[in-house]
Structure 1
């Protein structure tokens, strides 16, 4: 069945399809290597805002058309502003602010987001993968933060990257600008699983379906709490986590879930 979301797919750079509690967002500009152009970022942000308000959506999968997951910022758009009176300073700052807002929106989305990566994810495209909660990579996928090779350190991708992998792995990627193969990306913690080439989307959707089968209450509380406590000191993190878990324990579904374990039956979630 064609949904209103599907009907909008051809009109925007990011297509949306919703089925069985899972929203699939698809970067749909393969000819432009799914670069994060102004249009792409605007469409992406709109889709995230749309999905955040959809109660039926319990998990999100992010995928892309073509051989490149995302090549990062649109360098042609950037170079076009070199001739501005300020040599592009205002445009560059605005572009990076929009990109940062997009990445933060993924982290702050109520639903978990799973990247399904086939092909290349470079610069801000690699940042996009690192910003997702989970990531599945096809065996031929490759990752890179190559800014240093063109005189431009990947400063903003560094933020997401350094929150996913160990410091020395992050610095190696940022300083050398070399390709990282899928298996190495998994070893470093940038992706969760490496699967047969061409099956990343199916695997990611399977994970999303698993999440969609759980109560919405702990998943949403848990995602928000995970990122909040990560920015705190140890004492504050435990105090905060204890407060959130107390709230979770008072939820109807926590009562139902614990009761189901004790009674050895399947829980019946009410999402409250």
Structure 2
């Protein structure tokens, strides 16, 4: 692979991003966070890309933050307070960029996804994992509670299950991760790339503008009360219905033909 810390390969309307620091298990170092922010910023305005796959090089997806880099931050006069505050703020910014992207993002973890690496999986819109992948928010094992990974995790899995993972530092396997809702499904590792790409290409084949408006509304309504959510999503559907391409899609369905979309 290239020496670049983050690789991007476009396969038609699908962008494949690969965390590429395999020897260190692809940690979310300062450089990796900067690379992800840059890549997500570019994707934000890329109308040719309809879906994104996020994977890791080597034998693991992502082992979380770079602990050696974090320890080096302690050498500052303030003991690392400013560096740690900045690090976690930057990480939170990157995680929040994922649901704000117009394209659905599919995590394709294998090996391990731990601490901030598990947070990264939980922050993605979808996840297809390789069988045998282990997931954990295991910072408590070294005296660091995974408080920021907890935000994404607790929005994916039931609260008692999340709290158990956070307080015990125990790993869960793919079967349990799927039952809890952390991943959509698991496939044999040899099929991981093709399975993630197949899902991405299925999504990329839909009307991109509809997926974009739907993804935004999904995350907006989930933070609302029931009545407000219905009011908001009704307005979104009205806007969607008035599009030329939606008119064409419905007409094509009635006429039993493929739609001819402009977007």
Q: Do the two structures share a fold, i.e. TM-score over 0.5?
A: yes
Match of 1:232 among 221, 224, 228: 224
| Aligned mates of 2:9, 2:192 — CA distance in 1 | 17
SS in 2 for 1:71: coil
Shift of 1:11: 5.2
| Aligned mates of 1:66, 1:28 — CA distance in 2 | 8
Aligned: 1:97 with 2:89:
yes
Shift of 1:145: 0.3
| Aligned mates of 1:90, 1:110 — CA distance in 2 | 32
Aligned: 1:30 with 2:1:
no
- The equivalent of 2:136 in structure 1 is 144
Aligned: 1:170 with 2:162:
yes
CA deviations 1:171-226 (Å, max 9, x no partner) are 11111111110111001100001101232221011000001111011100000110
- The equivalent of 2:200 in structure 1 is 208
| Aligned mates of 2:217, 2:162 — CA distance in 1 | 24
Contact kept in structure 2, 1:118 and 1:198, CA below 8 Å: no
Give the count of matched residue pairs. 263
SS in 1 for 2:160: helix
| Aligned mates of 1:104, 1:240 — CA distance in 2 | 21
| Aligned mates of 1:216, 1:253 — CA distance in 2 | 10
| Aligned mates of 1:25, 1:185 — CA distance in 2 | 23
- In structure 2, stretches of 5+ residues that fail to align are none
| Aligned mates of 1:120, 1:167 — CA distance in 2 | 22
| Aligned mates of 1:11, 1:146 — CA distance in 2 | 29
Aligned: 1:116 with 2:108:
yes
Shift of 1:68: 1.4
- The equivalent of 1:12 in structure 2 is 4
- The equivalent of 2:180 in structure 1 is 188
| Aligned mates of 2:72, 2:190 — CA distance in 1 | 36
- Output the TM-score relative to the length of structure 2: 0.97
- The equivalent of 2:246 in structure 1 is 254
Runs of 4+ with deviation above 2 angstroms? 9-12
- The equivalent of 1:244 in structure 2 is 236
CA RMSD between the two structures: 1.1
Match of 1:60 among 47, 52, 59: 52
SS in 2 for 1:82: helix
- In structure 1, stretches of 5+ residues that fail to align are 1-8
| Aligned mates of 1:166, 1:128 — CA distance in 2 | 18
- The equivalent of 1:3 in structure 2 is none
SS in 1 for 2:2: helix
- Output the TM-score relative to the length of structure 1: 0.94
